[in-house]
A and B are shown apart, each in its own frame.
Chain A
Amino acid sequence: GAVVSQHPSWVICKSGTSVKIECRSLDFQATTMFWYRQFPKQSLMLMATSNEGSKATYEQGVEKDKFLINHASLTLSTLTVTSAHPEDSSFYICSARDTGGRTDTQYFGPGTRLTVL
C-alpha cells in the first residue's frame, strides 16, 4: 500500500522549454501532495505544498510563476517547470500524504531527474 509514482523518471530538455512532471498516488487518495527538490548529497528541500482543488503554497524563495503546481484530482498533482534553465537541473521528488491507515505521513515517489541543456 501507499504507492506513489512519478512520470517521467528522467527528462532532458533544452533551455527555455517547459517540462511537466506528474505525481500520482496509486492506491490511496491524497488531498495533500508535496514537491521537493534535492541536489547531490543534500537533503530534500520542500518547494511547495499542493492541496487538491486549491492553490499551492510555496516555500520562501521558490518562484511560483516558474514552478507551476496543479492538483486537479485526489490522485494527481503536476509540477511544470517553465522556461527551464540549466540551474533548474535537479532531482525533483513528490510525496503524498496518506491520512488513512495506521499513519498520517508522507509517502514519496521515485523522483524525476531533470537535466536542462
Chain B
Amino acid sequence: QKEVEQDPGPLSVPEGAIVSLNCTYSNSAFQYFMWYRQYSRKGPELLMYTYSSGNKEDGRFTAQVDKSSKYISLFIRDSQPSDSATYLCAMTRGKGAQKLVFGQGTRLTINP
C-alpha cells in the first residue's frame, strides 16, 4: 500500500466549475501538507502549504486537512482553462524533515 494515494484521473470539468482534488494517507506521522501544480514539461509550483487540520484559503484555492481521517483536499473555485495541469499532493513528517512524499498526481482539464 502506498503511503499517499491520489486518484490520477484524468478529471475534466467545464470552465467555472468547482474542482475537488483529494489525497489520502496512511501514516499519521505526516504533519505538513502541500499542493503543487505542474504544467506539462515544467517543474512543480507550490500552491498551498498547511500544517493544521481545517481550511486554508488563498484566492480561488482552498486547502483542507482532516488529520483524523488522514484526508486532504484542494478546492478550486471558478476554474479557468489556465488551471489545466497536473496537481500533486505532498506531505512530510515534520518541519525540518526533508523528504516529501508525493501522491501520483491528478491530471485536470478545464474545458472552455
Binding site for B on A (CB under 8 A): 2, 4, 6, 32, 34, 41-44, 46, 49, 91, 93, 95, 97, 99, 102-111, 113
Q: Are A43 and B41 in contact (CB under 8 A)?
A: no
| Alpha-carbon distance A43/B41, docked complex (angstroms) | 13
Whether A43 contacts B42 in the complex (CB less than 8 A), given A104-B96, A105-B49, A108-B36, comes out as no
Contacts of A6 in B (CB 8 A): 43
Stretch at the interface among B11-19, B58-66, B68-76, B99-107: B99-107
Q: Are B98 and A105 in contact (CB under 8 A)?
A: no
Interface digits, B89-112 against A, CB 8 Å rule (1 contact, 0 not)?
000100110111011110100000
Contacts of B104 in A (CB 8 A): 42-43
Tell me the total A-B contact number using a CB cutoff of 8 A: 54
- Give the interface size bracket for B toward A: 20 to 34
| Alpha-carbon distance A6/B44, docked complex (angstroms) | 13
- Report whether over half of chain A's contact residues are helix, strand or loop; otherwise say mixed: strand
Contacts of B46 in A (CB 8 A): 2, 103, 105-108
CB of B21 closer than 8 Å to a CB of A: no
Contacts of A49 in B (CB 8 A): 98-99
